[in-house]
Amino acid sequence: MSQVIKASGVSRSFGNVKAVDGVDFRVESGSIIGLIGPNGAGKTTLLRALLGLTRYRGDIDVLGYSPLRQRAQVMEQVCFIADTAVLPRWMRVAQLLDYVAGVHPRFDREHAQALLADTDVALTRHVGNLSKGMVVQLHLALVMAIDARLLILDEPTLGLDILFRKRFFEQILADYHHSERTIIISTHQVEEVENILTDVMFMDRGKLLLQQSMADIAGQYVELHALGENVHKARGIPHLGQRVIPSGVAFIYRGIQPDLLAPLGELRTPTVADLFVAILTGEGTDG
Amino acid sequence: MAEGRSQTYITLVLRELQEYRTSLCWTPLVLVMTLCGVLLVAVLLADHISAIGESVSQVLPSRDEAGNISIRIDSSVDGEPALEYRLEQTPAAPGNLNPGSVGQEQPEVLAGTLNPLLQGIHNLFLFILILVCANYLLATLFNDRRDRSVLFWKSMPVSEWEEVLAKFSVAILVTPALYFIASLLAQVMCLLLGMLLLWRMEMDPYALVLARVDGATLILGQLGGFALMALWLAPSYAWLLFASAGARRSPFMLAAGPLLAFILGERIFLGTSHLATVLSRHLPHYSGGGYAGFSWLGAADIPQMILGLLFTLAALAGAVYLRRYYFEL
């Protein structure tokens, strides 16, 4: 698989605040990456650096281009949906399609219209008159009609109800993603995207805490649900984090053979959210 | 590739015309319709206001008669400071008309006498054009940032230079072209309606209207005026675009505030007004016979114009930089 993004030593400061602090990572073609982090972790700044929307120090290569110097070329192969509705409200839907068709060589207008035909978004309507869900549908239709190699979604479903959110990610997975397309999703609603991710990146205070494939996470991390007196024994084993569950405690371990833990309780793969909290809070005893 | 770039440019310009269609497209049309409406009402009422008709028929010949009369003002007679007004009857030129021969005059003598009237209509369009363009330039980049649609525009494969130059060209080229067409339409409609008015008053429309218009001179002058205006106004327009790209709250304050501060500072601390003088050359002003206040280039103007164009490039580069990195409010 080819590498879509190569970033090394990427930093971005706003005054004394280091929004992104020396981040290194690689992204393989065809992966779906979840960029997870609390508010202010630097996710949006990092994504904007990838798109050339903000200055940065360090090196970023997106599909062979420098986002800072060759933003227009990057955007020919990269699609981007920002965290809030950013479509121009004064435009009619048809005008919006005309505009994208006029400036984007990889846009398929008929495909976009076909996608919109399945929604309530009429071509004659003003964007400003559409509901938030419809605006997201429209934006998604525009993006899905572009034959791009990289799709960057920055909190794309913020403020949408659960039905829209579910449909949004299902549509991306079913109709858009394939082995030549890479998707980076920044979101707080980790549980909703966890099942479609191939990789995760954890960020906090500008630093990259973890970048790992979901398969590696399943192989390296294990969650033990210890009950009764097993809680004390489990606590004695170096762990990443713990949380209270009914009648017991759940521990997350890294790099420990499941056979050793099996006598102490039920074993499972930790969810991305629980793993993130364990790593972020650092309340465990594992180095 | 070149076709793709021109397609992009056309799309960007169309987008501007769609977003600001009221000021850029509808305003000149409404102006044309208003002018034509007023004249049409005059034509329709012509029969009812015969007094106007009679006076027009008297005024037109008497204006031509005035060509035979010269007024001399002599302010020094025998060393005494005195004013003397004297009317002298000059010999009538051969072929000049008399009151009884309305419409029989030679066109070459009268050609162009209606040009100032048509230029007045054109100047009205110029005045509104400059107001509209200034308002457009202050708003265009700022509004994208205020409604956050800038993130959408920047998600398209369009460079900041393309965006800024498209917006600049809308103000310096596309809108003036639209207003020129509208102005031309208004002038033609006024002439036609004037001819209709005279025809209803049983006068010769050709001799009284068409023969008095020097169309070629008028149109060339107006087109040249647009070119001149573009060259002189370019620095001001680029500065407004820069203010639109950089303003946090009010683009107008950013555009006007620093300039006023510098002008006042220069006047207070240095006692000079060089900046104000330079600036005044790049702002529309009334200077008599010029177009939108700009007179034709003299050799002394060229260095200042070149400096102005260099400033234009710098201001546009600044707007591009701000658009690229400081687009969020």
Overall average pLDDT of the B308-329 stretch: 92
Q: Are B259 and B243 in contact (CB under 8 A)?
A: no
Largest CA distance in chain A: 68
| Residue A208 pLDDT | 92
H helix or E strand, kind and range, residue A28: strand A17-28
Overall average pLDDT of the A242-256 stretch: 87
pLDDT category of residue B101 using cuts at 50, 70 and 90: very low
Asked whether residue B77 is assigned to any structural domain, the reply reads: no
Q: How many domains does chain A have?
A: 2
Of A156, A178, A205, the position where a domain reaches its end is: A205
**Nearest by CB: B8 against A51, A81, A103:** A103
Rounded Cα gap, residues B136 and B157, in angstroms: 24
A265: closest CA of chain B, how far (Å): 50
> Which residues of chain A neighbour B153 with C-beta distances below 8 Å?
88
| Residue B83 pLDDT | 40
> Which residues of chain A neighbour B149 with C-beta distances below 8 Å?
86-89
Does A256 reach chain B within 8 Å, measured CB to CB? Answer: no
Q: How many domains does chain B have?
A: 1
Q: Which residue of B has its CA nearest to A107?
A: B156
For residue B295, give both structure tokens: 């007179």
Asked whether residue B294 is assigned to any structural domain, the reply reads: yes
Rounded Cα gap, residues B24 and A188, in angstroms: 44
Looking at the structure, do residues A237 and A189 belong to the same domain, yes or no?
no
**Nearest by CB: A76 against B18, B157, B324:** B157
Give percent of chain B above pLDDT 70: 75
Q: Are B212 and B195 in contact (CB under 8 A)?
A: no
- Please, which residues 100-119 of chain A have a Cβ atom closer than 8 Å to chain B? 100, 102-105
pLDDT category of residue B39 using cuts at 50, 70 and 90: confident
Does A145 reach chain B within 8 Å, measured CB to CB? Answer: no
Looking at the structure, do residues A24 and A141 belong to the same domain, yes or no?
yes
Asked whether residue A210 is assigned to any structural domain, the reply reads: no
Confidence check: pLDDT of B58 > 70: no
Asked whether residue A41 is assigned to any structural domain, the reply reads: yes
B152/A88 CB distance under 8 A: yes
Does A73 reach chain B within 8 Å, measured CB to CB? Answer: yes
Asked whether residue B221 is assigned to any structural domain, the reply reads: yes
Confidence check: pLDDT of B109 > 90: no
Dihedral angle of Cα A149, A153, A154, A159, to the nearest 10 degrees: 170
> Which residues of chain A neighbour B16 with C-beta distances below 8 Å?
none
Asked whether residue B145 is assigned to any structural domain, the reply reads: yes
pLDDT category of residue B260 using cuts at 50, 70 and 90: very high
Looking at the structure, do residues A260 and A178 belong to the same domain, yes or no?
no
For residue B71, give both structure tokens: 């007024």
Confidence check: pLDDT of B115 > 90: no
End-to-end alpha carbon distance in chain B:
35
Looking at the structure, do residues A225 and A94 belong to the same domain, yes or no?
no
A75/B155 CB distance under 8 A: yes
Range of the domain at B149: 113-272+281-329
| Residue B125 pLDDT | 92
Overall average pLDDT of the A260-270 stretch: 87
Looking at the structure, do residues A103 and A188 belong to the same domain, yes or no?
yes
Confidence check: pLDDT of B72 > 50: no
A88/B149 CB distance under 8 A: yes
Integer-rounded Cα radius of gyration of chain B: 26
Overall average pLDDT of the B303-311 stretch: 90
Confidence check: pLDDT of B287 > 80: no
**Nearest by CB: B148 against A84, A102, A104:** A84
Rounded Cα gap, residues A239 and A250, in angstroms: 10
Rounded Cα gap, residues B326 and B252, in angstroms: 18
Rounded Cα gap, residues B323 and B244, in angstroms: 9
A53/B12 CB distance under 8 A: no
B268: closest CA of chain A, how far (Å): 36
B13: closest CA of chain A, how far (Å): 10
| Residue B1 pLDDT | 57
Overall average pLDDT of the B273-301 stretch: 69
Q: Are A240 and A252 in contact (CB under 8 A)?
A: yes
> Which residues of chain A neighbour B147 with C-beta distances below 8 Å?
88-89
Does A287 reach chain B within 8 Å, measured CB to CB? Answer: no
> Which residues of chain A neighbour B324 with C-beta distances below 8 Å?
71
Of A205, A238, A265, the position where a domain reaches its end is: A205
pLDDT category of residue B268 using cuts at 50, 70 and 90: very high
Asked whether residue A211 is assigned to any structural domain, the reply reads: no
Of A205, A225, A241, the position where a domain reaches its end is: A205
Asked whether residue B300 is assigned to any structural domain, the reply reads: yes
A81: closest CA of chain B, how far (Å): 8
For residue B296, give both structure tokens: 């034709």
**Nearest by CB: B8 against A54, A82, A102:** A102
Looking at the structure, do residues A196 and A260 belong to the same domain, yes or no?
no
Q: Which of A65-79, A97-111, B51-65 shows the lowest per-residue confidence on average (mean pLDDT)? A: B51-65
Rounded Cα gap, residues B261 and B255, in angstroms: 11
Looking at the structure, do residues A200 and A244 belong to the same domain, yes or no?
no
Confidence check: pLDDT of B139 > 80: yes
Q: Are B59 and B203 in contact (CB under 8 A)?
A: no
pLDDT, tens digit, 9 for 90 and up, residues A99-146: 999 999 999 999 999 989 988 899 999 999 998 888 888 998 998 899
| Residue B91 pLDDT | 44
B-side interface with A, Cβ within 8 Å? 4, 7-8, 10-12, 14-15, 18-19, 147-160, 162, 324-325, 327
| Residue A247 pLDDT | 79
Looking at the structure, do residues A164 and A185 belong to the same domain, yes or no?
yes
A78: closest CA of chain B, how far (Å): 8
A76, A96, A103, best to mutate vs chain B, most B CBs in 10 Å:
A103
Asked whether residue A287 is assigned to any structural domain, the reply reads: no
B156/A100 CB distance under 8 A: yes
Q: Which residue of A has its CA nearest to B145?
A: A86
Looking at the structure, do residues A76 and A152 belong to the same domain, yes or no?
yes
B157/A75 CB distance under 8 A: yes
B155/A80 CB distance under 8 A: yes
Overall average pLDDT of the B21-34 stretch: 94
| Residue B293 pLDDT | 56
| Residue A155 pLDDT | 85
pLDDT, tens digit, 9 for 90 and up, residues A202-246: 999 999 998 999 999 888 899 999 888 888 888 888 888 888 888
Q: How far is CA B87 from the centre of its chain?
A: 38
Asked whether residue B96 is assigned to any structural domain, the reply reads: no
Does A94 reach chain B within 8 Å, measured CB to CB? Answer: no
Confidence check: pLDDT of B301 > 90: no
**Nearest by CB: B148 against A75, A86, A95:** A86
Rounded Cα gap, residues A7 and B270, in angstroms: 53
Looking at the structure, do residues A139 and A47 belong to the same domain, yes or no?
yes
Confidence check: pLDDT of B29 > 90: yes
Confidence check: pLDDT of B2 > 80: no
Give percent of chain A above pLDDT 70: 97
DSSP string, A193-233: HGGG-SEEEEEETTEEEEEEEHHHHHHHEEEEEEETTHHHH
Range of the domain at A238: 216-281
Rounded Cα gap, residues A188 and A220, in angstroms: 24
The larger pLDDT score, comparing residue A173 to residue A116, is at A116
Asked whether residue B134 is assigned to any structural domain, the reply reads: yes
Rounded Cα gap, residues A270 and A284, in angstroms: 15
Looking at the structure, do residues A9 and A73 belong to the same domain, yes or no?
yes
Across all residues in chain A, what is the average pLDDT?
A: 88
Asked whether residue B103 is assigned to any structural domain, the reply reads: no
Overall average pLDDT of the B307-323 stretch: 95
